[in-house]
Amino acid sequence: MTIDAWITAAVVLAVLAGLAINVVSTEVVVFTGLVILLVTGVLEPAQAFAGFANPGLVTIAALFVVAAALDHTGVTARVSRTILGEHGTAKRALPRLVFPAAALSGFLNNTPLVAGLIPGVLSWCRSRGVAPSRLLLPLSYAATLGGTLTLIGTSTNLVVQGLVQSANRDDLPEFGLFDVSPVGGPLTIVGVLVLVLLAPRLLPDRRAALGDSSTEHHYTGELRVPERAAIVGKTIAEAGLRGLEGVYLADVVRDGRRIAGVGPEHRIEAGDHLIFVGRLEALVDLRRSHGLDAPLESSSGRATRRIVEAVVAPGNPLLGKAIRDGNFRATYDAVILAIARHGERIEGRIGDHVLDVGDVLLLEAVHDAERLPRSDFYLVSAVDGAEPPRLSRAPRAIGVLVALVVSVVGLGVDMLHASLVGAGAVLLLGCLDISQARRAVQGSLLLAIAAAFALGAAMQSSGLASTLASLALDAGATSPHVALAILFVLVAALTELVTNNAAAVLGFPIALELADRLHASPVPFVVVVMMAASAAFMTPIGYQTNLMVYGPGGYRLRDYVVLGGLLSITSAIVSILLTPVFFPF
């Protein structure tokens, strides 16, 4: 190998080691690898930073905005609750999550699918005290597996289809929409079953990812049931308001009167005021997921509000007055959602509570936290991600998503153009505002993905990938079945280190040469390239959805190696055994 190839190999190993040690963030580790490759001359500046202009990266950023619109309009929370169920443990929720995710991924791009489901999964985990590490990595894996179901399930399959077209060989016909399904279908089913059976045993329960609840305030909050809420007419049990983690329903107030002895069979009516007691995050998630309102509506409109946390200062003019009598809303243009006082439960309705120094208020304000008077409140801060959902805009967000999918699947519109138009549409339709869209574009994740492209470019330009391919080619030229197995291992290894599309591009000519040397049909070899290029399970940088769940799930490299390794072995066995059956040599 050349000196550049040795340097690239060392950098790749160092990046993987950095991810395993987990001392600094993912984007810092991967970007450091990029800088080393640039400084040592392995990559030219244009090569090193080409990933930042990659259409795939721009597509991901735009799809984040579309996914955020679904989240801010309450769509993802409702879908996640429907999929995961109102009750149960992570073990019971796992199959309810991974099977639908895999099925949807056969027809939807898995990146926005995972991006859209992550907030709802995190919300469900927080409300039930479940570590998100139990669910997020299986979600990523299930979406990746589902991409093998159809030709359009993943961009990798489409890249290979383009290579088939350019090869212009009579013995290599183009693939139809479901031509790869005889292999991809069983592969997805077996892989998802492996997740359901082994993920609960192999994935850690890292509850630190949920925050240390021992230091949180316990609020007493009051929320109103609007007329169009999905829980109207349901019992408390059917609405999922029993057995909540971190919060509980204390009282129900109807027409100004407290209803005594409310049980799980009590039916909820529009206009009911529900008194909850619990942690801040649980209350905020409950507010968003069930579409509940503040007890009093603000005159400035729901769409512009922000949820902030504030501590009552000694100079507050409303001290000693009941909230209802002090005209809090008119004074501060804000509505009190919940109150915490020294960890004690506040009895009765929020409006009857008399403010005292040190009370911690959860406010829904029509302005940012900085606008509240510092003489009246201490420690004023915005609650991240706690904006009230724009439920009335949910049909618009769903319409944009449907139009995006139809335009790509049915009309053949390029994913980049469709996602950019979709991102612009949700902004113009008021599904979210500019600040929310800006926060939705996860800069650190995009930086890590762009830098990972540079690692792949270095492997190709330095000759390291070609050296690995030549070794595999020499070792595999014995029989079709052995060659098929070695080809899968090679492409699967490449897809962990470079992009899956790059791995497919590298594996395709090797597949054709193996078929020619063995005087066999090239079709089974090309199908194996598709399956292996999607088998990116063993590293966080193998595929973008793996990176997306890396931080929120609190994962370590070991988690990917253990569970992802078993999934890779399963994928190899199923692909190598079934491909010759449906696509003979």
pLDDT confidence of residue 184:
93
What does the domain layout of the chain look like in residue ranges?
3-206+444-582, 213-382
Q: Between these two residues, 191 and 219, which has the higher pLDDT value?
A: 191
pLDDT tier at 209, thresholds 50, 70, 90: very low
Cα separation, 285 vs 279, in Å, equals: 10
Residues 6+ apart with CB under 8 A from 339: 219, 220, 221, 346, 350, 353, 359, 360, 361, 362
**Per-residue confidence (pLDDT) for residue 303, from 0 to 100:** 43
Q: Which of 81-95, 164-178, 182-196 has the highest mean pLDDT?
A: 182-196
- Binned at pLDDT 50, 70 and 90, residue 346 comes out as low
SS3 letters across 371-429: HCCCCCEEEEEECCCCCCCCHHHHHHHHHHHHHHHHHHHCCCCCHHHHHHHHHHHHHHC
> Is pTM beyond 0.75 here?
no
Query: To which H or E segment does residue 59 belong?
Result: helix 55-72
- Report d(CA 407, CA 416) in Å as an integer: 11
pLDDT in tens, 434-450: 877 877 776 776 787 77
Cα(418)–Cα(431) distance, integer angstroms: 17
How sure is the predictor about 33, in pLDDT bands with cuts at 50, 70 and 90?
confident
Contact of 60 with 448, CB cutoff 8 Å: no
Q: Is 509 exposed, middle or buried (0-12, 13-18, 19+ CB in 10 A)?
A: middle
pLDDT confidence bin for 187, thresholds 50/70/90: very high
Partner residues linked to 308 by β-bridges: 363, 382
Could you tell me which residues are beta bridge partners of residue 251? 275
Lowest mean pLDDT among 90-94, 227-231, 244-248, 417-421: 244-248
307-344 confidence digits (pLDDT tens): 777 778 777 888 888 887 777 777 777 778 778 775 56
- pLDDT value at position 19? 65
500: pLDDT strictly greater than 80: no
pLDDT at 511: 83
| Confidence check: pLDDT of 206 > 80 | no
Higher pLDDT, 396 or 509: 396
Give the strand pairing for 273-279 and 334-340: unpaired
Per-residue pLDDT, 374: 62
The predicted structure's pLDDT at residue 77: 64
Eight-state DSSP code of residue 208:
G
Q: 100: burial class by Cβ within 10 Å (0-12, 13-18, 19+)?
A: middle
Residue 86: other Cβ atoms inside 10 A: 17
**What pLDDT sits at residue 210?**
36
Higher pLDDT, 126 or 205: 205
Predicted pLDDT at 556: 83
How far is residue 448's CA from residue 284's CA, in Å, rounded to a whole number? 30
Mean pLDDT on 36-55:
85
What is the rounded average pLDDT for all residues in the chain? 78
Task: Look up residue 344 and give its DSSP letter.
Answer: B
Gyration radius of the chain over CA positions: 27
Paired tokens of 480: 């079709």
Mean pLDDT of 231-242: 83
> Which pLDDT score, from 0 to 100, does residue 529 have?
92
pLDDT digits (tens, 9 = 90+) for 453-476: 787 778 778 887 667 667 766 766
Identity at 154, one-letter amino acid code: T
pLDDT tens, 249-273? 877 888 878 776 677 888 888 888 8
Ranked by mean pLDDT, the top range of 189-198, 433-442, 501-510 is 189-198
Confidence class for position 212, pLDDT limits 50, 70, 90? very low
Distance CA 56, CA 437 (A): 18
Confidence of residue 195 (pLDDT cuts 50, 70, 90): very high
Of 72-76, 367-371, 473-477, the one with minimum mean pLDDT is 367-371
By mean pLDDT, which of 25-34, 173-182, 230-239, 254-263 is the weakest?
A: 254-263
Q: What percent of the chain shows pLDDT beyond 90?
A: 13
pLDDT at 582 over 80: yes
Phi, psi of 403 (to 5 degrees): -60, -40
Q: Assess whether pLDDT exceeds 50 at residue 301.
A: no
Tell whether the model's pLDDT for residue 214 goes beyond 50: no
Question: What distances in angstroms separate CA 5 from CA 239, 455, 489, one per listed residue?
Answer: 59, 11, 20
* Residue spans of beta strands (DSSP E) within 282-333: 306-312
pLDDT at 300 over 50: no
| 208 has pLDDT over 50 | no
DSSP, collapsed to helix, strand or coil, labels residue 361 as: strand
CB 488 within 8 A of CB 528: yes
Confidence of residue 577 (pLDDT cuts 50, 70, 90): very high
Query: Does residue 120 register a pLDDT over 90?
Result: no
Short-list 280, 296, 300, CA closest to 288: 280
Contacts of 438 by beta carbon, 8 Å cutoff, 6+ apart: none
CA distance 414 to 56: 11
Of 299-313, 526-540, 549-563, least confident by mean pLDDT is 299-313
- Maximum average pLDDT range among 31-35, 56-60, 113-117, 154-158: 31-35
Residue range 213-382 in CATH 3.30.70.1450: yes
pLDDT for 95 beyond 80: yes
CA angle (140, 146, 150) in 5-degree steps: 150
| Strongest mean pLDDT among 211-220, 304-313, 352-361, 478-487 | 478-487
